[in-house]
Amino acid sequence: MDPFTFLYILLLVTMLTVLVSAHEYGHFLFARIFKMEVEEFAIGFGRPPWTFMRKKGTAFTVRPWPLGGFVRVKGMVPEDDGSEREIEGGFYSKPAWQRVIVFLAGPVFSILAGLAILIPLYSLNGVKTLGARVGDIRAESPAAESELKKGDLIVAVDGVPVKSFLDIVGQVRDKAGQNVEIRFDRNGAAGVTSIVPELEANPSPVLDSYVRGPKEFRRQAKIGVAPDPTERLLVKIPFSEAVLAGLMWPWDMAKGIVRSLLSPSTFKDNVGGPGTIVKETYAAAKDGMDTFVQLAALLSISLGIFNLLPFGFLDGGQIVMNLIEVFRGGKRPSMKFLIAFQSVGFVLIGLLIFGAIASDISRFFGNKPEVQQKP
């Protein structure tokens, strides 16, 4: 085993341990706040568990397979006769609204842990954005009639220095029909050309920040140039922008998951299984520690959002079951209903996992379609 592979495995296990610990600590903390007796705080699954600490009746353990974890609270298993409600310090001896908060705390802590990593990372390190190198020139566009070529690095627009593709867009969008001077670098040789941008036929999003989404849609002037997707650079941003950059991720991920569930045709493009996680973490570790740390933060956020899905044994499913009890004035749903709800949830989760693994197989071993350049 080469040193990098060993380091990667160590980083992967450490990352999974930290992400799981943040999630389970949310459950653990609020169980303790509500005076529930926590029997075990476990990282990993399988036997035998290794207990490295006991505190206030809780065994803190590490198990052989570092692919998850759990917090076991006393009296957490419903019984046919409802006797779990009589266990002192037990989970079901507490009001349903407290149980909802305990289940909700895990996903919330996963999301907060991701944000606690992303915001300082963006603030101190900057955000990655597309550079100013020409990746493609649309046929019959204003740029196609100029001296620009694929691979040129645009350095200034109308005398204003540019570093990113967003800088170019900002300098061009309001200059339809005007003569725009483009200065570029081609393999170390300086060049200059003039382009007259054309007003696009339909409105498009106005992007004026490295982290904010579009605030408006309108027709903008375009020159017909696409950026080189492999050319990226770090851009320093203020703390307020870093906060916005971090907060965008949970919202975008939630929309992506809902979109994938409602549109199965996009599922394989937006969802990855264990193979994708291993591949992406390996690539991130090779790319640099900042990329690896960002991926860890994004996985933490996605873990939190995924666990909020209202399916069976996921936290979201447990939240739904306890909310039903809240709305029924403390009356628990029947055991028959609980079993049916859990069974349906188990099947749905199984289908999601199967779909994610099938997506991995298709992504890694299937035929790769040709990538069509978009104008």
State how far the Cα of 195 lies from the Cα of 200, in Å rounded to an integer: 15
> How does strand 58-62 pair with strand 38-45?
parallel
165 in Cβ contact with 129 (< 8 Å): yes
What is the C-alpha to C-alpha distance for residues 293 and 274, in angstroms, rounded to an integer?
18
Q: How far apart are CA 256 and CA 271, in angstroms?
A: 9
Whether 24 sits among the annotated catalytic residues: the reply is: yes
Pair type for strands 180-186 and 160-161: unpaired
Distance CA 16, CA 69 (A): 10
- Residue 235, judged by CB atoms within 10 A of its CB (0-12, 13-18, 19+), counts as middle
Structure tokens at 63: 């198990």
Q: What's the burial of 163, exposed, middle or buried (CB within 10 Å: 0-12/13-18/19+)? A: middle
Single out the residue of 367, 315, 299, 359 nearest to residue 67, CA to CA. Answer: 299
Catalytic residue annotation: 24
